[in-house]
Structures are given as C-alpha cells and as structure tokens.
Amino acid sequence: MMYFIFAFLLIFSIILTGKSSNLVNYENNLIVNHNNILENGNIKHSDGIRNQDKGKNTKSEWWKNGIIYQIYPRSFKDTTGNGLGDLRGVIEKIPYLKYLGIDTVWLNPIHPSAGIDSGYDIIDYRNIDELFGSMDDYDELIEQLHNNGIKILLDFVPNHTSDQHEWFVKSVQNIEPYSDYYVWVDAKYVNGTRQVPNNWISIMKNSMWEWNEQRQQYYLHQFYKEQPDLNYKNPLVQKEIKDVMRFWLDKGVDGFRIDAFGCLYERQDLKDAPSIPKIPEKQQRIGYTKCLDESYDEIKSWRVVLDEYKKINSETKIMTVEIYGDMDLLKKCFGNTTHPGAHFVLNFCLGGLAHHPAKSFVHNLNESLFKSTPGAWPSWVIGNHDIGHPTTTFGEEMIDGIHMVQLLLPGTPVVYMGDELGMTNTYLRNDQSPNDINNIFLRERGRTPFQWDSTAQAGFSNKTITWLPVNPNYVTRNVEYEKSATKSHLKIFKALVNLRKLEVFCTGNVEFYEVSKYVFAFSRSNSILRSYFVILNLGSEIEIINLRKIKRLLPYKMKVRISSLNAEQYTGEIIRTDSFTLRPNAALVLESSFF
C-alpha cells in the first residue's frame, strides 16, 4: 500500500511539471533518511537525536523547543537615569522579546550584592538589590513575562556568598548554628610561621585560603576572598539552599541556571593538588576542589525539589548547570533514570570552535549529540556574560552562520543579549572596568550596555556616563537600525527563530558533513517531502561547492531559505547543489521540497 502511494505521488509530480528531474529529486528525498550508517566519512544518524526524545514528549517540554535569552540586567535598559539597567527596563522591553520570538528569559543575579563580582557575591538570597528595583518590580516582571508566554530562569549562586552575608558574619563570630556554614580550617605552622592549609589555587590565581583574625582560622574561597565557600558537608547548609530555591519557586520562577556547581565540595583530607606543567589549573583542581561526586549528588537532590513543584501543577520547573570540562564531566550532571539530575547542561563546545576546520565541528558536535548520556538533552552556548560576544570571537562575517548552527541543531539554544544584533566586545581601560579587577578576565568587555538605537548612549540610558561605556559601533549596530534595514543580523536571526519552529527542527534527523577542509554542513529532515541543509564556509577563501559529491542522493536543485549577510546568494534563489560558490565565512540554509 505504501509503495502504491509513493508511485502515485511520483506520477502526479511528473504530470504537474513535465520534467523527469522531479522523479530524481523525489527519489533522493525518499532515500535520504534511510539507514543509520557512516557515509563517505560523514556522521549520519537517522533516528533523530534520540528515539525517546521524538514525538509528543519532545513537543510537550517547553525548555526543549524554546530559545533561552540571557539578560544581564545591569546592561539591558536603564529606566531610572542612574546609568545602570534595572527590572523595569526588562519590563519595558518585553515587546522586543516577543518580536524576537524567544521563549525564556534567564536573568543574571538580581539579589543584594557587595558588588565585588557583579552580583555573584550575594548578601541576601531572598531579596532584590535596590539598584535593580524592588520585590514589587520583580513580581510585576514575572507576571508580565508569563502573560506574554515567556518563562523566567533566575541565576542561582549556591557555592558561595558575600562575606557580608548574615551567615558569614555570624560564622566568623562562631554563633550557632552558623559556625560550620563555611569551610574553616586551622593554620599550619612551620618553624613557628603560620602557613595556609595546602597549595590550592583559586580561580583568581591566588591561594584559596584567607586568614580571619577574629576567628583565628582560614576560610576557603574558590573565587574572590570576599566570596567564602559554603560548607556542603553541613546538612543545615543543604537545607538552607533548598529553602531558597523553594522561596523563588513559590514566587513563580520557572527554573534556575546553577552557577559554579562543580565547586560545591572539596577533598576533606585537604591533600595538596598536583602541580603539572602545561596543564591548566582548572583541570588540576578536578578531584580536589572541582567536580567531586558529592557535587553531582547535590544536583540530584535539587532536582527532587523541582519535581515536587511539577507534581503540583504539571508544569516543569527546570535546572541547567554551568560546567566547563570534558564530556565525561558533563554526562554525570544528568544523573540516571532513578535519580535524574539537571535537565540540561550549558554546552560551550560550539563557542570554542572559532577558526577551526570543518573536521572539528563534525567531531565536537557529534560528541555532544550522540555520545552523551542516553536521554540527555543538548544545549548550545556561543556567548555569555563571561566569555563575551561571539561576533568578536568568530567575526562579523561568520556570526550569521554560527547562529544557523546554534538555532537549527537539535537542542536548546542559549543566546546572550545583543548577539542577535552582532554586538561586539568593547575595549575598556582598567579604570572603566570597576567589577573586573585589573581586567584579569576581560569579562566586562562583553557586558557593555545593550544598543537600542542611534541616540546618545544607544538608547540604553539618558545619563551621560553609564556604568560601562557604550560600544562606539552602536550608531549602526542597534535594534532600530537593523529592524529597518533591508537585511541585517537581527532579521536573519529572527528568520532562523521562525524557521526553527517547524516540526523538522524539533524531531528531525541530523547528519554532519565535512564538505571540504573549511566547509562544514549539516542536514535536518524528518520526511520524504522536505529537508534542510545548512552550509558554512569557515575559511578565508571562496569555495566551489558540490554537495552531491558528499551526499549523492541530494536533489540537483534547492532553494535558499536564509542566507548570511555576506553571502552572494539571496533568499528564495534556486541554486544547483552540484556547482555553486560560497564566499569566505558565508552561510546558507537550503530547502528541498517535493511540492
């Protein structure tokens, strides 16, 4: 019966067009999804991302199909005239979020903070920093977002607090029950000289230990000394953190992005970490102060809290975790079938492939998609508040193509605000970077104000001097300009967001191709009637492309659905797949359709 239907469709297409090439095209599309094989050295998976992730289950989970948009509140929109973004600024710009078509907002920390680490040194987990507004402003924000069909994730910082937090102040004074809320250790003495307990080095390149004169002990800090680490060996600390999660869940938050979860536990024997030349310090910390098994167990216990709320109203509350490391470390975050962990992990592999050859793209994306824990859901991060804007990393000519990869692969894209415009990092002098001491990480170069229009301060604020300088390229790199342009990064981004809503990008198969040394491609398909092919020139030279050489059953002609800003092809153009040119860093989304 099935073959009869196929034959009827074939004859019908020939009658309609009178061209025998349609028979070839239809046959090509008919066979393209068959067999799970390795074809011509290209990764091919015809089961889609995972069998259990296809169909109804995938469509029902909002966090799988949607796009997460990261907002750094300090730099999004200032409504008070103090040069600093605020919650009412986010409320004001909800129409823009709707225009973009994003589904979820992730807010960087908005809690009261001492300002040492841009909000990641929290003084009070259950309140709003007055710099951003009030709890009433937060309540209105969450109500307005939900009324517009947008979820909200809060940045959650469970590893450490500010040294001004009430818990730490009382811990210094040895006031119960806070005495052991932090990691306190006695000093070592050598020939009567006080020394730190061991050789552990913080992320800030100094000792992890800070002496407290009042308590006469050292406390542990894996980040700044003003950010003491909580002691997760203390059950009371575990309970406190879960209670904080429940506080915000009760206020309607849809989930959390967990900061620095891998730092929660450290070796109890305080053994010195090895000093290995040419091995990054962060790798040397693994098994000593990073990624201990107990940290993963803590994620599982937090998942239990989230699932409690799902049982109440059948709405999934999610948790995504930040971790930098190899695939084995990422896998453990997902837990197992009986004790699930994170819903997904923030995957930075794509952001690390700038200027790499196509082979690296094929290998790394295949690792992320098909060699992770069964049932694990992928995500794609190419920029954020720490690593900056990907346009700076990849270059303006390539950013559209990288967005094609990020938005059209299976998984959840996490987009940093301004990346849709092609915003770039801004040069800052040391005196212009108040929260990035001595520009150690150059992080604040990617945190400058959002560029709304070409007026003074890019429409971000009416104050002459903002908390960070606006990038000088704001005159043409802004929302207003790009919305009115015939073609722009913003319009290409929006077109990709709309395209991604098609069923094929939710449940379709994916194949990766090394077209040439510097040309990477992948395809998405889930039926014999329509498929998509994304191709990106990663190199610095014009490439003559013959896609049928690497995929014999591809149609002879395909339509350009979306083209990058620097591509010579235009949207709607029909091209021959066996002979076309692709400019350096240019990218195309090609569409094949039987009808």
Q: pTM for the full model?
A: 0.90
Rounded CA separation 8/242 (Å) = 61
* Residue 290 φ/ψ, nearest 5 degrees: -140, 135
- Reported as a pLDDT band with limits 50, 70 and 90, residue 9 is very low
Give the start-end residues of each E strand in 394-456.
412-416
Q: What's the one-letter identity of residue 106?
A: W
CB 572 within 8 A of CB 555: no
Q: What's the one-letter identity of residue 498?
A: N
The answer, yes or no, to whether residue 416 has pLDDT greater than 90, is yes
Tokens of 338: 């009986």
CA 492, 493, 494, 498: dihedral to nearest 10 degrees? Answer: 100
The answer, yes or no, to whether residue 408 has pLDDT greater than 80, is yes
Task: Express each pLDDT in 351-396 by its tens digit.
Answer: 999 999 999 999 999 988 887 777 789 999 999 999 999 999 999 9
CA 406 centroid distance within chain = 10
> Which helix (H) or strand (E) element contains residue 318?
strand 318-322
What mean pLDDT is predicted for residues 271-282? 72
CA-closest candidate to residue 150, choices 88, 95, 104: 104
CA-closest candidate to residue 458, choices 77, 71, 70, 133: 77
The pLDDT score that the predictor gives to residue 35 is 31
The pLDDT score that the predictor gives to residue 278 is 57
CA-closest candidate to residue 360, choices 371, 369, 370, 349: 349
- Reported as a pLDDT band with limits 50, 70 and 90, residue 528 is low
Quote the DSSP letter at residue 122: B
Q: Choosing from 92, 240, 259, 367, which is the catalytic residue?
A: 259
CB 256 within 8 A of CB 156: yes
Sign of CA dihedral 374, 377, 381, 387: negative
Sign of CA dihedral 365, 367, 368, 369: positive
Q: Is 259 a catalytic residue?
A: yes
Q: What percent of the chain clears pLDDT 70, i.e. is strictly above it? A: 86
Range of weakest confidence among 42-51, 169-178, 514-523:
42-51
The pLDDT score that the predictor gives to residue 32 is 33
What mean pLDDT is predicted for residues 529-539? 92
Tokens of 551: 């995929």
The answer, yes or no, to whether residue 95 has pLDDT greater than 70, is yes
Domain definitions of the chain by residue range: 2-51+501-593, 58-111+135-158+249-259+317-498, 166-220
The answer, yes or no, to whether residue 444 has pLDDT greater than 80, is yes
DSSP 510-542: EEEEEEETTEEEEEEESSSSEEEEEEEE-SSS-
- Reported as a pLDDT band with limits 50, 70 and 90, residue 46 is very low
CB 199 within 8 A of CB 284: no
- Token pair 């300090």: residue: 74
Burial (0-12, 13-18, 19+ Cβ within 10 Å), 380? buried
Select the more confidently predicted residue: 485 or 47: 485
The answer, yes or no, to whether residue 18 has pLDDT greater than 50, is no
Rounded CA separation 540/585 (Å) = 7
Cis upstream peptide for 177 (omega within 30°): yes
CATH dotted code for 166-220: 3.90.400.10
- Reported as a pLDDT band with limits 50, 70 and 90, residue 29 is very low
- Reported as a pLDDT band with limits 50, 70 and 90, residue 30 is very low
The answer, yes or no, to whether residue 199 has pLDDT greater than 60, is yes
Tokens of 536: 């990106």
The answer, yes or no, to whether residue 3 has pLDDT greater than 90, is no
The rounded mean pLDDT for the chain is 88
DSSP 68-102: EEEE-GGGT--SSSSSS--HHHHHHTHHHHHHHT-
Q: Choosing from 155, 226, 322, 514, which is the catalytic residue?
A: 322
The pLDDT score that the predictor gives to residue 324 is 79
- Reported as a pLDDT band with limits 50, 70 and 90, residue 504 is very high
Burial (0-12, 13-18, 19+ Cβ within 10 Å), 99? middle
Burial (0-12, 13-18, 19+ Cβ within 10 Å), 448? buried
Rounded CA separation 226/169 (Å) = 12
Tokens of 131: 């710099």
Rounded CA separation 159/244 (Å) = 13
CATH dotted code for 2-51+501-593: 2.60.40.1180
What mean pLDDT is predicted for residues 128-143? 98
State whether residue 211 is helix, strand or coil: strand
The pLDDT score that the predictor gives to residue 17 is 37
Rounded CA separation 48/370 (Å) = 10
Domains 58-111+135-158+249-259+317-498 and 166-220 share a fold: no
The answer, yes or no, to whether residue 56 has pLDDT greater than 80, is no
In degrees, to the nearest 5, what angle opens at C-alpha 290 toward C-alphas 287 and 295?
100
The pLDDT score that the predictor gives to residue 336 is 86
The answer, yes or no, to whether residue 34 has pLDDT greater than 50, is no
CA-closest candidate to residue 168, choices 187, 181, 177: 181
- Token pair 């690296």: residue: 360
CA 318 centroid distance within chain = 14
The answer, yes or no, to whether residue 15 has pLDDT greater than 80, is no
Q: What percent of the chain clears pLDDT 90, i.e. is strictly above it? A: 75
What mean pLDDT is predicted for residues 157-182? 98
The answer, yes or no, to whether residue 256 has pLDDT greater than 80, is yes
The pLDDT score that the predictor gives to residue 45 is 41
The pLDDT score that the predictor gives to residue 281 is 61
Quote the DSSP letter at residue 132: T
Rounded CA separation 419/201 (Å) = 33
Tokens of 209: 């230990």
DSSP 139-190: HHHHHHHHHTT-EEEEEE--SB--TTSHHHHHHHTT-TTGGGSB-EEPPEEE
Highest mean pLDDT among 182-186, 259-263, 279-283, 505-509: 182-186
CB 453 within 8 A of CB 481: yes
Q: Is 322 a catalytic residue?
A: yes
The answer, yes or no, to whether residue 424 has pLDDT greater than 50, is yes
Range of weakest confidence among 127-141, 326-340, 383-397:
326-340
CB 449 within 8 A of CB 463: no
**Pairing status of strand 412-416 against strand 379-381:** parallel
CATH architecture of 58-111+135-158+249-259+317-498: Alpha-Beta Barrel (3.20)
Select the more confidently predicted residue: 20 or 284: 284
